Amino acid sequence: MANKCDVCGKAPLSGNKVSHSNIKSKRKWAPNIKKIKAVVNNSTKRINVCTRCLRTGKVKRAI
């Protein structure tokens, strides 16, 4: 599954994990992506959507 929101374009971010002794190692933050059926242009499609877009109502779920 693609780890990118089809609505807002949110994708994984990378950075450093910093230990107590200040040693840095690479890590990744992934968005919470769900594959849902949504109404797009008056038709039902399966799209990848982050939970922020679902919660704020940017996406209309298909019933």
Residue ranges of domains in the chain: 1-63
pLDDT for position 63: 83
Statement: residue 1 has pLDDT above 80: no
Please state whether the predicted TM-score (pTM) of the whole model is above 0.85: no
The vertex-58 CA angle with 55 and 59, nearest 5°, equals 90
Listed as own residue / partner, the contacts of 43-52 with beta carbons closer than 8 Å and 24 or more positions apart are: 47/6, 47/7, 48/1, 48/2, 48/4, 48/5, 48/6, 49/5, 49/6, 49/7, 50/5, 50/7, 50/8, 50/10, 52/8, 52/10
6-58, pLDDT tens digit by residue? 999 999 999 999 999 999 999 999 999 999 999 999 999 999 999 999 999 99
Q: How confident is the model at residue 2 (pLDDT cuts 50, 70, 90)?
A: confident
**Which CATH superfamily, name and number, covers 1-63?**
Ribosomal protein L28/L24 (2.30.170.40)
